[in-house]
Amino acid sequence: MRLFRPSILSLLLVAATVAGAAEVEFKRVWPGWRDAESFERISEYFGRGENPGREIIVRTQPSERAGYYFLVRVKSATAIPDARFEVQVVRPDSPDVKTFKFSATVPPKENVFQLGLTGADWPDGSDANPVAWKLSLHAADGRVLAEHKSFLWEKPTK
């Protein structure tokens, strides 16, 4: 019985450490238009495919590069498998909220994601900006791990 108690205590300490280390935060969210040419790297001129560098690029229309992107720097103490980014936007051409979901695995430490609303999912041109937006990161079980929104996303409290 004496061996059993230290084992339980060590398991509880490990579980507490893992739970505390699972903290996730958005260090920076930087929305903006990107032309297709801004993604070109010299390796493409030598016959290789798109080179994302250190960024993780996910698009609503993978074959389209030009679009409105959310550059998101995510800090996570541990890897988050089967995560899902959710971008909700009010586009300038419609008052309705549109929701876009991006599946991703979030590696540990700090990583940069480019979440692109491309092709038919965003109006043509670099001058089209969202009226309001909200970005969230969800765990595989649906829990919201991090969230960031524009100033106009919510009505002010009275």
Supply the pLDDT for residue 51.
Answer: 63
pLDDT for 113-127, tens place per residue? 999 999 999 987 777
pTM assigned to the model: 0.79
Average pLDDT, the chain: 85
Better pLDDT: 153 or 154:
153
Percent of the chain with pLDDT over 90: 65
- Answer yes or no: is pLDDT of 18 > 60: no
**Average pLDDT rounded to a whole number, residues 56-68:** 94
Q: Where are the domains of the chain?
A: 24-153
Q: Which CATH class is domain 24-153?
A: mainly beta
Closest CA to 91 of 34, 124, 132: 132
